[in-house]
């Protein structure tokens, strides 16, 4: 299927690995010109290097960073059509999961909202004038099933993603008449660095369960989270949903929460 993205200009935050890297790769394959934002470039982006890809090294915990990324896209390619707010998860230097409401303090809550909500708010604020000038655009916020299925673990993360979902709905109403579509993709547990890195979620859960990293990812994690498919999702599966939603093929889809979660959200 031709997604009609050839020549479109896209910004993808958190674009150097995991879901973000898969989104960057997919948009490039569809002919888009992509500006990827992340703290470091990494081998994944290096492998995609070409005239249609620009990397902007920024820390999205910096309030000024999202606007700098958007301005770079406009400088390089003359405008902006697509924004994918993918950056999220544990803030830099933080390991999740964290168990219990009393575990994170005020500073933890602030960092979590800075990374998972405010960075998206700032990117959208910077992007909207450029999209309006082009007669429209598409924004996708990468959220989480935990926004709708909170548990006594990572409560600050779940709350930040719930706020992101609410923001998505509000923006779709306000800017839909100006040709800007805003949607969410709510990812379930996905095979990313969050799970697989040394000291990551699989190691934290494995330490409690007396199991190795591979067993947690392949068996214990899917069973614990009651995933219908029996496995964590792959980043490409999330990226495919994002690419479809930013495409003109989804011209009548706005304010939606597109779930790609291996059957995690059974009751919603």
Per-residue model confidence as pLDDT tens digits over 75-110: 999 999 999 999 999 999 998 889 999 999 999 999
Confidence of residue 268 (pLDDT cuts 50, 70, 90): low
Rounded to whole angstroms, the Cα distance separating 24 from 43 reads 13
Mean pLDDT of all residues in 60-69? 98
Rounded to whole angstroms, the Cα distance separating 184 from 118 reads 16
Each residue's pLDDT tens digit, 162-199? 999 999 999 999 999 999 999 999 999 999 988 888 88
Question: Which neighbouring-strand residues pair with 9?
Answer: 33
Structure tokens at 187: 């990812």
Residues serving a catalytic function are 157
Q: Can you give the C-alpha Rg of the chain in angstroms? A: 18
Helix axes 106-113, 155-175, angle to 10 degrees: 40
- Hey, is 37 helix, strand or coil? strand
51-55, 92-96, 261-265: which range is least confident on average?
Answer: 92-96
What is the structure's pLDDT at 79? 98
- Which residue shows structure tokens 């990397």? 55
Q: pLDDT higher for 208 or 22?
A: 22
Burial of 200 (0-12, 13-18, 19+ CB in 10 A): buried
What is the structure's pLDDT at 203? 87
Secondary structure of 142-175 as H, E, C letters: EEEHHHCCCCCECHHHHHHHHHHHHHHHHHHHHH
Q: How many CA atoms lie within 13 A of 229 on its CB side?
A: 14
For residue 57, which of 69, 71, 48 has the smallest C-alpha distance? 69
CB-based contact 232:200 (threshold 8 Å) = no
Going from N- to C-terminal start, the domains of the chain cover 9-190+234-260, 191-232
Task: Write the CA distances from 241 to 23, 89, 167, 235, 245, integer angstroms.
Answer: 9, 19, 19, 10, 6
Confidence of residue 1 (pLDDT cuts 50, 70, 90): confident
Provide, rounded to the nearest whole percent, the portion of the chain with pLDDT above 70.
Answer: 100
CB-based contact 87:60 (threshold 8 Å) = yes
| Helix spans in 114-253 (H) | 119-133, 155-175, 193-196, 201-209, 213-215, 221-224, 235-246
Rounded to whole angstroms, the Cα distance separating 74 from 251 reads 23
CATH class of 9-190+234-260: alpha beta
Each residue's pLDDT tens digit, 190-248? 999 888 888 888 888 889 889 999 989 999 999 999 999 999 999 999 999 999 999 99
Phi, psi of 37 (to 5 degrees): -110, 130
Residue 192 CA, distance from chain mean position: 12
Mean pLDDT of all residues in 36-56? 96
Mean pLDDT of all residues in 2-29? 98
Rounded to whole angstroms, the Cα distance separating 255 from 181 reads 7
CB-based contact 153:236 (threshold 8 Å) = no
What is the structure's pLDDT at 82? 98
Tell me the average pLDDT of the chain.
Answer: 96
pLDDT for residue 42 is more than 80: yes
């Amino acid at each position: 299927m031709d997604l009609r993205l050839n020549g479109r200009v896209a910004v993808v935050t958190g674009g150097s690995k995991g879901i973000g890297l898969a989104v960057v790769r997919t948009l490039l394959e569809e002919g888009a010109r992509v500006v990827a934002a992340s703290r470091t470039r990494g081998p994944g982006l290096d492998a995609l290097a070409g005239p249609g890809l620009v990397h902007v090294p920024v820390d999205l915990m910096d309030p000024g960073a999202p606007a700098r990324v958007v301005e770079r896209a406009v400088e390089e390619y003359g405008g902006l059509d697509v924004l994918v707010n993918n950056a999220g998860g544990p803030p830099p230097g933080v390991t999740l999961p964290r168990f219990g409401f009393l575990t994170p303090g005020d500073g933890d809550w602030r960092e979590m909202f800075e990374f998972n909500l405010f960075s998206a708010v700032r990117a959208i604020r910077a992007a909207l004038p450029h999209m309006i000038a082009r007669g429209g655009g598409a924004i996708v916020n990468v959220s989480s099933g935990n926004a709708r299925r909170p548990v006594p673990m990572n409560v600050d993360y779940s709350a930040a993603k719930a706020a992101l979902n609410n923001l998505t709905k509000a923006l779709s109403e306000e800017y839909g008449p100006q040709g800007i579509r805003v949607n969410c993709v709510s990812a379930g547990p996905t095979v990313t660095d969050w799970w697989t890195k040394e000291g990551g979620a699989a190691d934290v859960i494995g330490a409690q369960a007396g199991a190795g990293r591979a067993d947690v990812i392949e068996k214990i994690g899917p069973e614990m989270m009651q995933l219908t498919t029996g496995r964590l999702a792959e980043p490409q599966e999330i990226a495919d949903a994002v690419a479809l939603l930013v495409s003109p093929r989804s011209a009548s889809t706005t304010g939606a929460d597109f779930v790609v979660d291996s059957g995690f959200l059974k009751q919603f």
